[in-house]
Structure 1
């Protein structure tokens, strides 16, 4: 058979274009907000509403505390008190604005953790609005009437419980395997709600010291638990994304250690509350010192392992890392304070550890 007899092959045409290949397009996100600010802007996302209300409560509480301090120094306002200013300040600073900040994060990142549809922001108006309104009543009632303050506390407690009921509904709808961090956050919310309700009941019975113990319990059992659960999940993730040489390393034993330290601090609150005197049980104080030294040292080591030094080059990342490092510093500070107290019989460092934790870590 000759070449001329062979069947002709079908012709294939190849289109040639000078255009560069295009990557798949991402789904379009919400359009950026333009023009003057409007109240409706807060409804665009849960974190906008939560953060806005949190800032309102924080500014109101800060302005109120400034007035109290000025009145103590100069007597300009002649303020009277229906509720102890110490209890008023402690309660609003622990249970007032922080849960509202948490809401903005939990209802934005939480559904992503759990792989469930997020709530529409309008569904959060009720629980968040109750909290914000309740804390305004609390501050006003501290001077006007204890009944008004208790009403505010009841509203805030109802809003907080409602908020975490919604979060637990997300947990119940999730089918992902890793729900450890979200569960820890949810349990912390239950502790916070119970402590807030208990604070109101203690006030009704005229037991301010019991109310303060419940507020301190909320600090460690709610605020700290939420903080360390989120930190364990997010800090290594953010760090490895911004600093590729840092690997994601977050074994669960680290989370259990941090949660265990928070639970131990809750235990110390109630042991101290039950003690007949400040120096009644020195051996217990020694045990507390040893535990806080160990936990604080491990947390500072963890901060370095997670890339504390490297993170200082990126401001936003540095803020997260330095804040976490302050938890370890606060525990070491507390251990030093109690050591000096045992040696001298005087509270040399006072509430410095609490302030270091509150302003250095959480804020």
Structure 2
């Protein structure tokens, strides 16, 4: 299989040639920058004699969650949705002036935020407002398509609903930054997970995973009834509400059904027989979703019985790193290969990133039960950088280069 990069002289001007180029470049850059800061902060917290880091306000752990949930991953999400919304609804592709403000807002927002994290206090305010501006531009670009289309594309409406909740999460963060109770920070973080990211990932998986399998696996029976989406929304929102009210002992009431729902999807969707690596990684990544809800369920039952939060942030990181991270590698690689005019396969850098992120996810989950937990947190963060560096470098070259097949976009 030819793994050569696209030919042609790299140019930053090509980032504006398509939504995914700009937004994926922004997300890939922050994938490393944000985790480099977080890894350094964890090292400084565990080994202060080795490294001294600025202690930002708000607390670094909260800021880490904000950057990852509202800046890094949404850069990829907007890049995907700004590309696929017109295709899903049979409408013209977006012009550059429609998506450029989204990319510039998120790029400037996350750079300013990270500068704020290392000492430029005004950067946290500047970064928040730029991020909010990019989000508003993105939602305002996508939303009109849902009422201009002739029919009803439920996947688009589901993703749009999650993005609206994401805006509410950003406003909750803004409220906290203006001096309100830290509970608004916690609300923002929880909304980011269960109001924004999980519904978007679930919806895109429902739309795309069986479709991808049907294209390359002979005899594959596509199964994606809409009742799966209808069941997902009330369950994840119920989980969100229970977390907001700290009713951790009752989470199993919704997490057990989510475990059964996602396990059923994985079983029904998993392609039997030979399949290409680019498809295999999608379903291995998805396997982290029922695993995460199994951990959430066990933690909830144990908490109700003992009053001890045994697994800490382990279930959350099975979701964040295991599911979100693995599927990110699989989906971004597929979209990038296809839109770069290359064959649809897993290049070596993508395989390395995917396999390594499985190790990182397991390390971060197990860290909650290991001696010297903070040391293992730092190891996992450094592992993230090692896992993603070759992949990001390869992606950056592609986004800055002409398509391999000479076509525009």
Q: Same fold (TM over 0.5)?
A: yes
The corresponding residue for 1:307 is 270
Cα offset for 1:322?
2.2
Tell me, yes or no, if structure 1 residue 174 matches structure 2 residue 136: no
Cα offset for 1:225?
1.2
Q: Which of the numbers 289, 307, 311 marks the counterpart of 1:327?
A: 289
Tell me, yes or no, if structure 1 residue 61 matches structure 2 residue 23: no
Tell me, yes or no, if structure 1 residue 356 matches structure 2 residue 321: no
- Tell me, in whole angstroms, the C-alpha distance in 2 between the residues paired with 1:71 and 1:41: 39
- CA separation of 1:312/1:101 partners in 2, compared to 1, >3 Å: closer, same or farther? farther
Cα offset for 1:313?
3.5
- The CA RMSD measured in Å over matched residues stands at 2.0
Cα offset for 1:200?
1.3
Tell me, yes or no, if structure 1 residue 112 matches structure 2 residue 74: no
- Tell me, in whole angstroms, the C-alpha distance in 1 between the residues paired with 2:152 and 2:232: 18
The corresponding residue for 1:19 is none
Aligned 1:1-363 pairs, distance under 5 A: 34-75=7-48, 76-144=51-119, 146-175=121-150, 177-272=151-246, 285=248, 287-307=250-270, 310=272, 313-363=275-325
Cα offset for 1:65?
0.5
Given that 1:84 and 1:142 are in contact with CA atoms closer than 8 Å, whether structure 2 keeps it comes out as no
Given that 1:199 and 1:214 are in contact with CA atoms closer than 8 Å, whether structure 2 keeps it comes out as yes
- Tell me, in whole angstroms, the C-alpha distance in 2 between the residues paired with 1:71 and 1:33: 40
Given that 1:228 and 1:259 are in contact with CA atoms closer than 8 Å, whether structure 2 keeps it comes out as no
Given that 2:44 and 2:53 are in contact with CA atoms closer than 8 Å, whether structure 1 keeps it comes out as yes
- My pick for the range that moved more, 353-362 or 144-153, is 144-153
- Tell me, in whole angstroms, the C-alpha distance in 1 between the residues paired with 2:45 and 2:274: 40
Cα offset for 1:293?
1.4
What secondary structure does 2:308 align onto? coil
- Tell me, in whole angstroms, the C-alpha distance in 1 between the residues paired with 2:223 and 2:14: 38
1:108-143 Cα deviation digits (max 9, x unpaired): 221110000011234311121111111111122234
What secondary structure does 2:245 align onto? helix
Cα offset for 1:82?
3.2
Cα offset for 1:95?
0.8
What secondary structure does 1:36 align onto? coil
- Tell me, in whole angstroms, the C-alpha distance in 1 between the residues paired with 2:65 and 2:184: 13
Cα offset for 1:145?
5.0
- Tell me, in whole angstroms, the C-alpha distance in 1 between the residues paired with 2:95 and 2:104: 15
Given that 1:83 and 1:146 are in contact with CA atoms closer than 8 Å, whether structure 2 keeps it comes out as no
- Tell me, in whole angstroms, the C-alpha distance in 2 between the residues paired with 1:52 and 1:271: 37
Gaps (5+ residues) in structure 1? 1-31, 273-283
Q: What TM-score does the superposition give when structure 2 sets the normalisation length? A: 0.74
Cα offset for 1:312?
7.4
What secondary structure does 2:251 align onto? helix
- Tell me, in whole angstroms, the C-alpha distance in 1 between the residues paired with 2:308 and 2:274: 37
- My pick for the range that moved more, 44-53 or 143-152, is 143-152
- Tell me, in whole angstroms, the C-alpha distance in 1 between the residues paired with 2:70 and 2:27: 11
Given that 2:242 and 2:248 are in contact with CA atoms closer than 8 Å, whether structure 1 keeps it comes out as no
Select the structure with the greater relative contact order (CA < 8 A; seq sep ≥ 6): 2
The corresponding residue for 1:24 is none
Count of aligned pairs between the two proteins: 319
